[in-house]
A = this chain, B = another copy of it.
Amino acid sequence: MVCSNKLRFWIIVFLTVACTVWAGEVTIKNLVFPNESDNSYVELVPEIPLNLKAFTLCMRVATELQGKREIILFAYRTKNHDELNVWRELDGRLSFYLAGDGVLFQVPDLGGLETHLCVIWDSSSGASALFVNGRRSLTKIYSKDHTIKPNGKVILGQDPDSYLGDFDIKQSFVGSISDVNMWDVVLSDGTIQDIYTEKRVPRGNIFDWQSIKFNINGAVQVVDRDL
C-alpha cells in the first residue's frame, strides 16, 4: 500500500490531535501493597453516604497470592456490622457479602496480570453478578430488599473484624489495586465493557478514582500510571 510521506505526516498530526482531544490519556493512582501485613490499608473517602439499594463497584486488581488463601478486595463496615465485603475465597471463587452469608461466583481466578472486576447488585430484584474483564458472570439472586447502611468506613487491603481494627494478616491483600469506581446504580453491560476498555464513561458518584481522596496506613505505596 502506497502513501506519500507528506500525507502520512499530516495523518499523524491529525490523529495525534484527534486522539488527544477525544480519547486521551488519564493519569491515575496505583496502590501497591508489597507484602502481607496486618496494618497496611487504604481508607477511601466516599463522595456521598453509602445508603444503597443498588450499586456497581469496579476495580483493576492483580495479585500473585495463590492456592488456599482468602484475599480481601474491598471492605465497607459500619460501627458494628460488615456492610459490603468483596473477597477472593480460599478456593479461588470471587464473592461479596452484604450481611451474613455471601454470594459466590465460579470465575477465572485472579492472577499476576490485572483483572478488571465489577460487582453489581440491585435490591429490588436481588440480581447480582460479576464482570471479569468485561465478561458477565451468571446472575444470582441475593439479598432482595436489603439496604446497605451509611456512615461506615471503606478500606482496601484489610478485613476489619471490628471498626478499623482486628485485621488478620492471612486475609490481607498483596498486589496492586487501582481504578476503584463505585456508583449507586447498576450500570449496563455495555457501559461496564466500556469501562473495561477504558472508554470515557459517567464518573462514579460514590468513588471516582480520578478525584478520589484516600488515607494511607502502613507500607502501601502509591505510584502514577497512565491509562
Q: Which residues of B have CB within 8 Å of A175? A: 138
A105 is an interface residue with CB less than 8 A from chain B:
yes
A interface majority secondary structure: mixed
Q: Which residues of B have CB within 8 Å of A218? A: none
Contact of A125 among B11, B21, B64, B224 (CB under 8 A): B224
Known: A25-B191, A188-B227, A190-B227. 13 other contacts (CB 8 A): A1-B25, A5-B7, A15-B18, A25-B188, A25-B190, A62-B138, A64-B106, A66-B106, A106-B112, A125-B223, A126-B221, A189-B198, A189-B226
Interface residues on A, range: 35 or more
Q: Which residues of B have CB within 8 Å of A223? A: 122, 125-127, 139, 141
A68 is an interface residue with CB less than 8 A from chain B:
no
B-contact bits for A18-37, CB 8 A (1 contact / 0 none): 10011111000010101000
B-contact bits for A28-53, CB 8 A (1 contact / 0 none): 00101010000000000000000000
User: Taking CB as reference atom, which chain B residue is nearest A61?
Assistant: B138
Q: Which residues of B have CB within 8 Å of A32? A: 127, 138-141
